[in-house]
Amino acid sequence: MIETHLRNRVQPLFNTIGTRFAACHISANNITLLALLTGLCAALCIATSHLKAALCLLMLSGLFDMLDGTVARLNGTSHNFGAYCDLVADRMVEAAVIIGFAWVYPEHIFAYLLFFAAVMLHFSTFVAAGALFPNMGAKSMHYDASIVERAEAFMGFFAMLVWPHLIFELLMLLNIIIFVAGITRFKRVMEYVHSTD
């Protein structure tokens, strides 16, 4: 939700940074790979209790994640394969971060399992909406906005890194929001399917 509403305001900054990446002949797919690798390194730092380093790496991963699409558009190289890789890399980073937390704070296993269930619901409905709804935007597929998107998930992770004594409460709050978003989108997809029958 934050990303959807603020993207137009911050996009000029991303365009400036993206132009420099493009000038260095760094492809959008390579930036997606950088987002994945820095995210996995952040997860490793979490698992080894280097939480400040994890926070910095996660911020860098988020920056790369926002830049890959920008560079693809600037280079005129947007395609479905890149969008697919980006979606998979995003989920892998999120999974790795939660596994990192589970490694060092195993007492919150119920919250971690609920997170995976919530993300499965949310992402499944996102893919269904992308496949069914007509694409009116600039992305490779219909991007169905939600009350929780990448920015909100990262804010939850940042809060967990800053206040590790509140991991369970913070993650459960994030889980509830993700479940609500997934259920809401599921209802919207079902209504759309019935309206087109």
Instruction: Note the pTM of the prediction, 2 decimals.
Output: 0.87
Over the stretch 23-81, which tens digit does the pLDDT of each residue have? 777 888 899 999 999 999 999 999 999 999 999 999 999 999 888 877 878 777 667 78
**How would residue 138 be classed by pLDDT, with cut points 50, 70 and 90?**
low
What's the pLDDT at 139? 63
- For the chain, the three-class secondary structure string (H helix, E strand, C coil) is CHHHHHHHHHHHHHHHHHHHHHHCCCCHHHHHHHHHHHHHHHHHHHHCCCHHHHHHHHHHHHHHHHHHHHHHHHHCCCCHHHHHHHHHHHHHHHHHHHHHHHHHCHHHHHHHHHHHHHHHHHHHHHHHHHHHCCCCCCCCCCCCCCCCCHHHHHHHHHHHHHCHHHHHHHHHHHHHHHHHHHHHHHHHHHHHHHHHC
Over the stretch 78-131, which tens digit does the pLDDT of each residue have? 677 877 888 899 999 999 999 999 999 999 999 999 999 999 999 999 888 877
Region 146-167: mean pLDDT is 91
Residue in this structure with the two tokens 């997809």, named with its chain if needed: 189
